[in-house]
A and B are shown apart, each in its own frame.
Chain A
Amino acid sequence: MKQVYSVPKSLQPRSTHYCPGCTHGIAHKLVAEAIDDLGIRDRAIGVAPVGCAVFAYDYFDCDFQQAAHGRAPAVATGIKRSVPDSVVFSYQGDGDLASIGAAEIVHAAMRGERITVIFVNNAIYGMTGGQMAPTTLVGQKATTAPFGRQKEHCGSPLRVSEMLATIPGAAYVARVALSSPGNVAKAKTAIRKAFETQLAGEGFSLVECLSTCPTNWGMGPYEAMSWLEENMIPYYPLGEFRTPEGGPNNA
């Protein structure tokens, strides 16, 4: 009998602490599949953020370091520079990466740090209970933006992939959405490409994964998927913003 699917070997066989309908599980699976496909589990060292994915190390079957809030790219730099043969990835949310860790991510990209960043953008702070993120959409409600994000008060959301794609050291930058089977398949390809970019020594790689947070958005899982497609994708267009070949910039 032909096996068409199995749980990735780089994931631990246990249930997660993530909320029902949350897309962290999909992102974890895609990363684990890329690690399996490339045969790099014994060289992989993950860096967990502060946020909902703080316990990512409980789910991946590889070495891990847990970093201070926003500092994962700096920690990943220390790992990669001291063990150049390792395959280092950080897994960060939008508060961690785009707010408190904005300096660390920009400079890791500037140095062309040979690390892979999985950036989970769900437009809200999850673990702390639904506060406004730098990626929260204008008008979107959050516990610290009870009337919806006001542009005049706190600006418009940050488009991280577009910003990082302007940095010469960034070799691969792509935005994907974890919202439908087709989009998940594209996400899988992008994550694999990001790791391949690192393995080829071509520079910094990042995949921004548009994700849902049904709990803090106050929606059911299906409604959240639709909200992502209808509201997030128009503001955060999908595509590759930078590739090692220098293009295509199809965003």
Chain B
Amino acid sequence: MAERKLFKGNEAVAEAAVRAGCRYFFGYPITPQNEIPEYMARRLPEVGGLFLQAESEVAAINMVYGAAGTGARVMTSSSSPGISLKQEGISYIAGAELPCLIVNMVRGGPGLGGIQPAQSDYFQAVKGGGHGDYYTIVYAPASIQEMVDLTMQAFDVAETYRMPVMILGDGVLGQMMEPVEFREPAPREVPAKDWATTGAKDGRAPRLINSIYLQPEALFKHNLKIAERFEQAKKNEVMCEKAKTDDADIVLVAYGTTARICRSVMDRARAAGLKVGLIRPITVSPFPYDEIGEVARTAKAFLTVEMSLGQMVEDVKVAVSGAAPVHFYGTTGGVIPTAAEILERVEEIARAEVRK
């Protein structure tokens, strides 16, 4: 068995990226993710890689574009206001069909907001984020081990589908420490980078990294090609954990840090005789619509819990599709919901909808 080491979340995700072959990091400081660039500044030179602090998040993501266009394994990281700035570049990266990794340790917003953990950038993360018709693959780990495991496969996934992959964490996951083990992911066949611009050597034709298609029909076709790859990701990459959903009357739906709290809510509710289950999306894009829809055939009610005023709940409603009521409980601004508050909501729902 591989060695287990105590790691802070931000440093663990950085180390996992290095072990996954990431050799280039371009970033800009912002709390609560600063340990990622700081770790990379020390670590990447050890493996012959390169860390560069950019003048802004805008510049950093465009450096990622340039390096990704040469076929390099490259990443950046930031937190909410910085991710807003990166959206321009993420849209171009998606349009130019380039693989990369973006780590987003979400903090409270809007505006400068706060520096405490939040999940209020779900919409921005899972609905494309920047301008244009595109999606990215977004993982929402709930533990540092899971964040490591997902990061270890993130580059393979990004290269398979030629699109950015985002790790959607929050201040809790970035800052807390847990024991982790760096495990090799299942091997994947990653397509050759026959598009990389490294200089037109040995008589090969020049290559172009590009997202401009002025003819509407050409852009239509290009966007469909990108969409087709995301359709493949929907078929192959959806990840979702279901706990005690088989006999559940009330099903909690939560991701990331909030899912950890909901797990203890489920245990406490079960101890009190309530049949409560939990669905935890691990990919929030593509979203596990079918997996939730299947549970909706037997569950009597859903309760979505988020550190936002209600974002993922919209996707849960689409998944449930009117088969059962979908309730919501959320906190915002960096306030973390307590298990007691959530349990109270579960009990209310049980009184209203299960025992009626």
Using a CB–CB cutoff of 8 Å, the interface residues on chain A facing chain B are 41-45, 47, 54, 57, 60-68, 71, 74-83, 85-86, 103-104, 106-107, 111
Contact = CB atoms under 8 A, between A and B. Distances in A.
A77 B96 CA distance: 18
Nearest 3 A/B pairs, CB to CB: A78-B66, A74-B62, A78-B63
Contacts of A78: 24, 26, 62-70, 74
B7 to A, nearest CB: 27
Given A75-B66, A80-B66, A83-B199, 19 more contacts: A42-B199, A45-B199, A62-B199, A63-B199, A63-B206, A65-B66, A65-B208, A66-B96, A66-B208, A66-B210, A68-B88, A75-B62, A76-B66, A78-B64, A79-B69, A79-B70, A81-B52, A83-B72, A86-B70
B116 interface: no
Contacts of B64: 78
A79 B208 CA distance: 13
A185 B106 CA distance: 55
Interface of B: 23-24, 26, 50, 52, 54-56, 58-60, 62-70, 72, 74, 88-89, 92, 96, 197-202, 206-212
Contact of B66 (A57, A62, A77, A107): A77
A55 to B, nearest CB: 8
Given A65-B66, A65-B69, A41 B200 contact: yes
Nearest to B88: A68
Contacts of A77: 52, 59, 63, 66
A54 B209 CA distance: 12
A238 B23 CA distance: 42
Contacts of A79: 66-67, 69-70, 197
Nearest to B51: A81
Contact of A104 (B23, B55, B201): B55
A79 B68 CA distance: 8
A74 B66 contact: yes
Nearest to B201: A42
A144 B55 CA distance: 30
Contacts of B26: 78
A71 B206 contact: no
Given A54-B212, A57-B210, A75 B63 contact: yes
Given A77-B66, A78-B62, A78-B63, A66 B199 contact: no
Given A65-B209, A68-B88, A103-B55, A81 B201 contact: no
Q: Which of A54, A61, A74, A103 has the most CB of B within 10 A?
A: A74
Nearest to A87: B199
A74 B199 contact: no
A63 B200 contact: yes
A163 to B, nearest CB: 16
A107 B23 CA distance: 22
B247 to A, nearest CB: 52
A43 B50 contact: no
A67 B206 CA distance: 17
Given A64-B206, A65-B208, A107 B55 contact: yes
A244 B72 CA distance: 31
A61 B68 CA distance: 21
Contacts of B88: 68
A63 B68 contact: no
Contacts of B199: 42-45, 62-63, 83, 85-86
